[in-house]
Amino acid sequence: MAIAPPYRILLCDLRSDRLLDALPVTGVALDDYIGKTGSMRGTVPVPHRAIADRARRALLPGRTGVWVERGREIWWGGILWTLSLASDARGSLTAQIQCGGWESYLYRRLLYDTQEAVQVDQFDLVRGLVDYVQHTPGGDIGITYDTHTSGVLRDRTYLRYDLPAVGDLLDDLAAVEDGFEWRIASYRDGDGRRVKRLQLGHPVIRAGVSDIVLDHPGRVLSYTWPTDATGKANAWQSRGASINQNQAAESYPLMSQLLIADDDVTAGWPRLDGTSDHTTVEQPATLDAHARADWTAARTPVEIPEVEVLLGDNVSPALLGATIRLRIRDLWHPDVLDARYRVVGLSITPPERGRPETARLYLEVP
């Protein structure tokens, strides 16, 4: 029978990071991604009154920060959003928790003041929006960052009338042509302090200095390799904001250039049309840049391979952004697939009934 790893959660005041309590947690399932907010689920056993009192004081949805420790290392960090008490027929009580990564906070914060930027590095735009969030009363949750730049300058105007979520603004900025990736990492620094660090990467976030080799058969227990062409498009046009300021007249949206991949059609592909909406974009050049980025992403069928591996050794949440070397030999790959992929997501499954603790890695096909 597998022994559950020593997971526990550190419960802290979200704003000050003051430690409120540390409680054991079972059934931990956590995931983290680049380009998507991670999540954590688990169950806090409540065997007696003393634990109930502690948990009641510390588990405050929307106010409690959660750090997940595995052994002596921090593996995940985020915000407690949902608490569900459960009592069975024998009166056994548990507190089931669901948390979102630190990024989830930025999607709960709206822009109430117009922001304008002219020829500002896109990383500085991101940091400016994070500063806007954290400089409001009660808004500082301790997100830190460095000052490196991407070398890509942007003009942007964000109007308070749109009441956009700051997280959505970051996603839109990242998704434009020559954009970037962003996430908020959780770890302890060299002095043992808990850190929420904004990571920015242009064009992508990378981690690690040497490839990790994973073999199937071997360390890789199973894999899934989908190829999805349902979103493929080789012709594209995007819509922007309304360009008619006369409320009495009929309104039409700003339209991007029509982009057509003639080489796809020449190569035998059928014409496949696609579109996207960017309803707050008022500048033609900005809309064209969004359209080109969307079109580029849609031209190649999406492949997000998943491999399930045993957890431990060099497989941990620190793999996000790292490059692995994957080698697969089976009926589909008789000559051995041997290629490098970047890890863009990770989901951990706890052991259950003799099943070992595993991690599912989501890979980016180069």
To the nearest 10°, the Cα dihedral for 360, 67, 33, 193?
-120
Bond from prior residue into 350 cis (ω within 30 degrees of 0): no
Q: Where residue 314 falls among pLDDT bands split at 50, 70, 90?
A: confident
pLDDT over 60 at 5, yes or no: no
pLDDT digit string, tens, across residues 20-65? 999 989 889 999 999 999 999 999 999 999 999 999 999 999 999 9
Q: Where residue 351 falls among pLDDT bands split at 50, 70, 90?
A: confident
Q: Which residues contact 258 (CB under 8 A, 6 or more apart)?
A: 235, 236, 237
Mean pLDDT of 310-319: 83
Mean pLDDT of 182-208: 95
CA distance 206 to 136: 32
283 residue type, one letter: Q
Percent of the chain with pLDDT over 90: 78
The pLDDT, as a whole number, for residue 3 is: 45
The pLDDT, as a whole number, for residue 2 is: 42
The pLDDT, as a whole number, for residue 249 is: 66
Give the residue from 357, 365, 364 showing the smallest Cα distance to 5.
Answer: 357
The pLDDT, as a whole number, for residue 246 is: 63
Average pLDDT, the chain: 92
